[in-house]
Amino acid sequence: MGVRRPAGAAWPYAAAAAVGLAGWWQGALTADGAAAATAVGGAVLGRGGAPAAAALVTFFVTGSALSRYKARAKSRRGVLAQAKGGRRDAGQVLANGGAAALALALLGRRGQALFLGALATAAADTWATELGLLARRRPRLITSGHPVAPGTSGGVTPEGTLASLAGALTTGAAFGATAWLRGRRPGPPAGAAGRAVLLAAVAGTAGAGVDSLLGATVQGVYWCPTCAEPAETAVHARCGQPTGLVRGRRWIDNDVVNALATATGALTGAALSRSGTVSG
């Protein structure tokens, strides 16, 4: 008989550290981003098991691949579009994966629905951002319909909306298919996989919608007088000079919006599951 590894054992964090190191080596993560990814991945693998780990790896791999997909074309769409790319730091990792990891760390299997809803939201937002930047038409602000520059928070396109749904579905499929395979159930994976895909689609879409709404209303948007171009931070990354707030709240940046959106996705996932579990 094999020895069952305890949930608090070091092996989940060692495995997560290997993935984080690979992400840093490939240029997808900063050093502190890799450390944050280790914490998130370790909690997910240790408390969520293979289905949660498969969903998280799917999110990370697809997100990293999409950030590189036609990167040169996306960089030509404008300064805000350029700012969306690059290596993920600790703040970005925790904003996207913190709620999902916390749900499993505190609740274990009973936090599966919270976890999947949060992660599906993060995937939906990532896919919408990376593929929406390639849309031929200019995005329109979700609140007013006015055209905005590519990469503007709160701007949406039909292509980005479809990509958002695809990201959520992919995350749910990875979770559900792995749960079904581990259960070794005969027949088609209609139970576990079906529940996971449906929950991820609904919760991820809802969370991504909240992300766009917050981005269009309360997220801080700035203007750099030195470079005469828009920015998303109080200090412009391009020139290092202070920027002026155009709209929104200073303390609400993209990481805060992502954290609120994933929390919304988590709560939506919980509302869709009576028991809090997804894999049956």
Q: 39-73, pLDDT tens digit by residue?
A: 999 999 999 988 999 999 999 899 888 888 887 77
| pLDDT of 83 | 60
Q: 136-155, pLDDT tens digit by residue?
A: 888 999 999 999 888 788 99
Q: How many domains are contained in the chain?
A: 1
In a domain, 157, yes or no: yes
Closest CA to 254 of 37, 88, 135: 88
Tell me how far apart the alpha carbons of residues 197 and 181 are, in angstroms, rounded to a whole number. Answer: 15
In a domain, 93, yes or no: yes
In a domain, 239, yes or no: no
Say what percent of the chain tops pLDDT 70: 90
Q: What is the model's pTM?
A: 0.89
Instruction: Give the type of residue at 11.
Output: W
In a domain, 280, yes or no: no
Sign of the dihedral through C-alpha 39, 101, 189, 125: negative
Tell me how far apart the alpha carbons of residues 230 and 63 are, in angstroms, rounded to a whole number. Answer: 25
Which residue spans within the chain are E strands per DSSP? 140-141, 155-156, 221-224, 229-231, 244-247
pLDDT at 244 over 70: yes
| pLDDT of 78 | 62
Q: Which residues contact 146 (CB under 8 A, 6 or more apart)?
A: 140
Give the residue numbers spanning the domain of 42. 11-217+251-272
Instruction: Give the type of residue at 124.
Output: A
pLDDT at 3 over 50: no
In a domain, 120, yes or no: yes
Residues 121-150 have a mean pLDDT of 91
| pLDDT of 40 | 94
* Residue 14: other Cβ atoms inside 10 A: 12
pLDDT at 81 over 70: no
Three-state SS for 189?
Answer: coil
Environment class of residue 233 by beta-carbon count within 10 Å: exposed (0-12), middle (13-18) or buried (19+)? middle
What does the buried/exposed string (b/e) look like for 146-181 if buried means 16 or more CB atoms within 10 Å of the residue's CB? eebebbbbbbbbebbbebbbbbbbbbbbbbbbbbbe
In a domain, 99, yes or no: yes
